[in-house]
Amino acid sequence: MENTNAIGAERSFTDEFEEITGINNKRTRKIAAEKFETAAEKLHKGHKALNRTLGGGFLLVLLAVILAALAMRQFIFEPTLVDGESMENNLMNGERVAVSKAAYWFHEPQRGDIVIVHYPGRQGRFVKRIIAFGGETISIRQGYVLIDGKPLDESAYAGDWYGRITRLIDTKGNKNGEYTVPDGYVFVMGDNRNVSHDSRAIDVGPIANEQVLGKAFAVIWPVSGIRGIK
């Protein structure tokens, strides 16, 4: 029975082969059909090998993309959550900002930059604005921030607190509300001046330069709120 089935299968294949090629000599037709089958098998095996090669290549590409994304997040760019009301009305609670960790690789931070910082002795990261640098004396008088006795122009980003700041400087080491920032540190505040817990507080104080993690440059979430940061 097995031989009969095999012969039947061969006849069926060779009959079809004859119809396609026009070869009607039995011996020639059989040889050609066998060669055709052998070539088809090689092509099929090659196709499997090609699939394996492509599959392996895809995995390598995928791994490279993942590693690049992790490296970018670790060293160059990272989204950060705005948690709380201390930066209103420029940054709102629940928004996510894009932070460039490479921003200060080639130049120093600038006054007015919105940055991500670590507070001394505390977990988490905080979004604040740089107000003063090492060697400068900061104070608050008549509702305005003064740097070395001169009013700081904050009109570009000020809210309704401008000229009405009531939370004064209580930083450890202040003298009658005046505080000189140590070298190698920055003094940061939140834009919502009468709400923000920042360098004015005795339990925060100035931020070491190495604890400035990066510069926020855009709001990236929610989509409806995408915008640059001033």
Same domain, 223 and 205: yes
Same domain, 66 and 82: no
The boundaries of the domain holding residue 114 are 77-228
Q: Choosing from 48, 100, 128, 196, which is the catalytic residue? A: 128
Q: Report the domain count for the chain.
A: 2
Q: Using one digit for the tens of pLDDT, what is the confidence trace for 41-88?
A: 555 555 555 455 555 677 777 766 666 556 555 556 788 999 999 999
- Mean of pLDDT values over 9-20: 49
Among 46, 73, 100, residue at a domain's last position? 73
pTM: 0.70
Which of 57, 114, 110 shows the shortest CA–CA distance to 88? 114
**8 Å CB contact between 183 and 108:** no
Known catalytic membership, residue 128: yes
Q: CB neighbours of 190 closer than 8 A, spacing ≥ 6?
A: 86, 87, 127, 128, 129, 196, 197, 198
Q: Using one digit for the tens of pLDDT, what is the confidence trace for 117-149?
A: 999 989 889 999 999 999 999 999 999 999 999
Q: Choosing from 42, 86, 150, 172, which is the catalytic residue? A: 86
